Structure 1
Amino acid sequence: MAHRFLLAAAALLATPALAAPAPQNTTVTPQFAHAIPNIPGKSLKAVVVSYAPGGTSPAHHHASSAFIYAYVLEGGIRSQVNDEPARVYHAGESWYETPGAHHKISENASKTKPAKLLAVFVVDSDDKVLTTPDAH
């Protein structure tokens, strides 16, 4: 039994840091990145944002060139962009963010179930940082 415990502990320690959840219990996993051939200087990038129960992302801005389409894959996501009212989007629902938008709230609406969304960015190809948390 102790041998199995040691093997499990070693496996956990060997897990790459990129796979570990962020301090807010949120994981961002890149899915796709490709230049758009008929729009010079623009790229399409996609990430999956996975929220643990009660997980949140800090208030943030995206790259100033980014137009974003967000689609909820699982659970419910509470979101507030700019001065629009906060709203819970459920699996199958979506919203968009225009360039320069301020994403004030982005969190799992449930304290007991996970949630997941797909975020698709149309962004300047030179923009490498897609999300910048607000300075406090």
Structure 2
Amino acid sequence: MKRTLFSLLSLALPFAAMAAPPAAPEEHVAVNFSHDLPNVPGKKLTAVEVTYPPGGASAPHHHAGSAFIYAYVVSGSIVSEVNGGGEHTYKAGESFYETPGSAHQVSRNGSKTEPAKLLAVFVVDSQDTHLTTPDH
């Protein structure tokens, strides 16, 4: 009996280790600014600061259908993939954009040892309250 139990555990342990890899630390998101655009009725501008701890990442997500996004890497490096276009690493001082309705498959800190910070500026319909929705 002991030998059979040991054999079963020996077979099961490798599968248990593969089942749930440790999750990356999550990002911290803070709205820095949000205001209706008086010269563009029905639109607002919202600036969001995203801070990634070392090894941190965002879950795959998509943005509001009306959202045009300008992203600027403030510090560190950010690895991003939008709409299946392949991963690209952006370093401090570099920027990229996302068109309305984009799917963001990858958004993570490019470093396992240093934090990273991104400023995302959204131009979005005023009634859109959810700028980001996780993909499940």
- Fraction of identical pairs, as percent: 60
CA displacement 1:6-63 (0-9 Å, x = unmatched): xxxxxxxxxxxxxxxxx83310011000000111000000100000000000000011
Corresponding residue for 1:6?
A: none
- Distance in 2, Cα, partners of 1:99 & 1:25: 24
Q: How many residues align?
A: 113
2 CA distance for matches of 1:94 and 1:84? 16
Q: Could you tell me which amino acid in structure 2 is paired with residue 75 of structure 1?
A: G
In structure 2, the partner of 1:131 is 132
Alignment correspondent of 1:4: none
Aligned residue number for residue 56 of structure 1: 57
Cα shift readout 1:92-117 (whole Å, capped 9, x = no counterpart) = 00000000110000000000000000
Give, as a single letter, the amino acid of the residue that structure 1 aligns with 2:93: G
Is the aligned partner of 1:109 residue 2:110? yes
1:47 corresponding residue in structure 2: 48
> Gapped runs of 5+ residues in structure 2?
1-23
- In structure 2, the residue matched to 1:118 is 119
TM-score, normalising length: structure 2? 0.81
RMSD between superposed Cα atoms in Å: 0.9
TM-score by length of 1: 0.81
Please identify runs of 4+ aligned residues in structure 1 that moved more than 3 A: none
1:56-103 CA-partner distances (Å, limit 9, x unpaired):
000000111000000000000000000212011000000000001100
* Corresponding residue of 1:96: 97
Q: Which has the larger radius of gyration?
A: 2
For 2:74 and 2:112, locate their aligned partners in 1 and report how far apart those are by CA, in whole Å. 17
